[in-house]
Structure 1
Amino acid sequence: MRDEVFIRGAVPMTKSEVRAVSLSKLELGQDSILYDVGAGTGSVSVEAARLIPTCRVYAIEKKPEAIELIKLNKEKFSADNITVIEGSAPSALLDLEAPTHAFIGGTSGTMGDVLQTIFDKNPEVRIVINVLALESVSEVLSWLKEHSIEAEFVQVQVSKGKTAGPYHMMMGQNPVYVISFGGEGGAAVE
């Protein structure tokens, strides 16, 4: 889905090209239960919900402005299989049903606790994490190493064309690290 179709604001959004790679790496199925942690505008939740209407999606977000945007986008796209959860992860995850899949777009410094909570609920969960900062990559790498889990790392760098007078120039967006691991036959966490 094009970024322009979403109701936005000042809230960060996973851009369409990165969203496409991330959704592919999630490997969602008909009966998936997806946590979208740090859901922002809800772009990943909405696209997953529309892609697989039988999937149950939990959009977890703590910022009030983002919660409103998720609700507006849920309504705009008639994504009735999304449940909006207001709160901070990992505590907001505790009372939810166990996930089969998790997309992590933001944890506000609680990455390790969020990952552990998700794995405690389902050791076979498939996880995809998007990070921008090298410190966040390092934090994920440390957690993976501590739990002896192998992951796939993909860096997505997107440039989009912009008209500048009679010319077309490519304008680079921030590179995003898409980290994926787990799933059927994945490693259990102890």
Structure 2
Amino acid sequence: MSYFPGIKDEDFIRGDIPMTKQEVRILVLTKAKICPTDTIIDIGAGTGSLSIEAALQASSGKVYAIERHPEGAQLIRSNAIHFGADNIEVISGSAPEALQGLPIADVIFIGGSGGHLQELLAQSNSLLKPNGRLVITAITIETLYDALHSMQAKPEFTVEAFGMQVTRIKQVKSSNMLQALNPIYIIICTKGI
């Protein structure tokens, strides 16, 4: 099976767990600059949509998908089998505790913090290689503010951020309807040497 970034949302096995949408995944993956041998940690992996695409890009690397909800962890496993991504290790547990014992990473995604953002940012700093990328997706103003405030205060990081709003167009009979997705903010933090 050929892989191209931006797998359709409907191709994933889904449950009641939130999923990073296709358009967001494309931008996050672009900013993460994943190489084939990279080690990636996905904190708050949800259904595993981002973990799956990261694993397919890092075909000779490894993805550690951390998810605290048992249903989400099972969905990640099912999606990994569905897409043939056998380089994913699912860690069922809450971060930051679930980060213990993980190797140094090239890329870390934070998609959910469970109220532990500051601890996750500190732990991510110690787990990230020089030139590594930390990519945070925020759906709340508080997460956006806290992540920017914390990471911009660290001189070893270069920080960029942007917000995006996606509106899909769906054909309904002879008309086209606009369907807005929730706005999201993406913070990219690149660690210096």
- Partner SS state of residue 163, structure 1: strand
Q: TM-score scaled by structure 2?
A: 0.91
One of 2, 5, 18 as aligned partner of 1:12 = 18
Say yes or no: does 1:31 pair with 2:61. no
2:152 — aligned with what? 145
Amino acid of the structure 2 residue aligned with 1:38: G
Say yes or no: does 1:89 pair with 2:95. yes
Say yes or no: does 1:181 pair with 2:179. no
- 1:174 and 1:117, CA in 2 relative to 1: closer, same or farther beyond 3 A? same
Amino acid of the structure 2 residue aligned with 1:50: L
Residues 78-125 of structure 1 deviation map (CA, whole Å, 9 limit, x = unaligned): 111000011111111111111111011101111111111121133523
Paired residues for 1:39-188 under 5 Å: 39-122=45-128, 124=130, 125-148=132-155, 149-183=157-191, 186=192
Structure of greater relative contact order (alpha carbons < 8 Å, 6+ residues apart): 1
Amino acid of the structure 2 residue aligned with 1:89: A
Please give the root-mean-square deviation of Cα atoms over the aligned residues, in Å.
1.4
Residues 22-49 of structure 1 deviation map (CA, whole Å, 9 limit, x = unaligned): 0010011122100000000000111111
Once residues 50 and 122 of structure 1 are traced to their aligned partners in structure 2, the CA distance between those partners, rounded to angstroms, is: 21
Q: Which runs of 5+ in 1 are unaligned?
A: none
Does the 8 Å contact 2:39/2:105 carry over to 1? yes
TM superposition shift of 1:15: 0.3
Give the ranges of 4+ consecutive aligned residues of structure 1 lying more than 6 Å apart after TM superposition: none
Once residues 74 and 6 of structure 1 are traced to their aligned partners in structure 2, the CA distance between those partners, rounded to angstroms, is: 10
- 1:153 and 1:42, CA in 2 relative to 1: closer, same or farther beyond 3 A? same
TM superposition shift of 1:52: 2.6
Amino acid of the structure 2 residue aligned with 1:129: I
TM superposition shift of 1:2: 0.5
Q: Which runs of 5+ in 2 are unaligned?
A: 1-6
- Partner SS state of residue 76, structure 1: helix
Amino acid of the structure 2 residue aligned with 1:155: G
Work out the percentage of aligned pairs sharing the same amino acid.
38
- Counting strand residues as a fraction of each chain, which structure ranks higher? 2
- Partner SS state of residue 100, structure 1: strand
Count matched residues. 185
